[in-house]
Amino acid sequence: PTPSMHMLCHQAPVIPVLVIKDLAHAVPLAEALVAGGLPVLEVTLRSAVALQAISLMVRVPGATIGAGTVLNPKQAREAKQAGATFAVSPGATPPVIDCCEDLDLPLLPGAASATEVMHLLDRGFDLMKFFPAAAAGGLAALRAFGAPLPQVHFCPAGGLSQENARDYLALANVACVGGSWVAPAQMIIEERWGEIRQLAHQARQLGNH
């Protein structure tokens, strides 16, 4: 059965946002993050090898792999074909939403304003990515959404860190957070898997609430 986005967002406090440029990094990176306690991973479709990376990472025991930066139906179909369990988009368009529905691919669509949240509510979403979180108003914006839109939960991403994630996770309308800080580009390039496992472990300790 297809897991719901709600279930996926409650697996861990942080969904690592990954940019994988070398296919050889895909499996050890996923293994390090899972070992550190972060099983749900977002592989962004921003690199040439991203789809191949997803198809390798889905076989890592304990890992649940989603495709991030899904901007159009073609990418949604490719993500599904590669084995992705879910899709994440920085925003939301009717074609992407329709396509993910057709594919039975859970989607975490992005919203940054009340109008965007309302459009997604109309489409049946009550869990969405808040992007770009820090730039679009951060904690204050999320807290303010909670008054007129208390039924909506968010996964804020964009500008989060180990230091500020705890404050986001403390909000009643935050289900989990997304961020690249647990897998910094330089650490991936240098294959420092032990340090990435440590960063994941620290992020896991943030707790969902």
Choosing from 129, 163, 190, 191, the catalytic residue is: 129
Nearer to ligand 3PG, 30 or 122 (CB): 30
Site residues for ligand 3PG per CB under 6 A: 17, 44, 68, 131, 157-160, 178-181
Strand partners for 105: none
CB of 69 to ligand 3PG, least distance (A): 6
Supply the minimum distance, in Å, between the C-beta of residue 129 and ligand 3PG. Answer: 7
Q: Measure the CA dihedral 103/104/109/114, to 10°.
A: 120
Instruction: Quickly tell me which residue has 């500020």 as its tokens.
Output: 164
Whether the Cβ atoms of residue 89 and residue 69 lie closer than 8 Å to each other? yes
Verify whether residue 74 is a known catalytic residue: no
Is 21 tagged catalytic? no
Which of 87, 133, 93 shows the shortest CA–CA distance to 113?
Answer: 133
CB of 42 to ligand 3PG, least distance (A): 7
Which CB atom, from 39 or from 178, has the smaller least distance to ligand 3PG? 178
Instruction: Transcribe 150-202 into DSSP letters.
Output: TT-EEEEBSS--HHHHHHHHTSTTB--EEESTTS-HHHHHTT-HHHHHHHHHH
Nearer to ligand 3PG, 16 or 39 (CB): 16
- Measured from the CB atom, the residue of 103 and 182 that comes closer to ligand 3PG is 182
Provide, rounded to whole angstroms, the least separation between the CB of residue 16 and ligand 3PG.
9
Q: Smallest distance from the beta carbon of 61 to ligand 3PG, in angstroms?
A: 25
Q: What are residue 49's phi and psi, to 5 degrees?
A: -100, 5
Between 34 and 183, CB nearer to ligand 3PG: 183
Active site residues per annotation: 42, 129
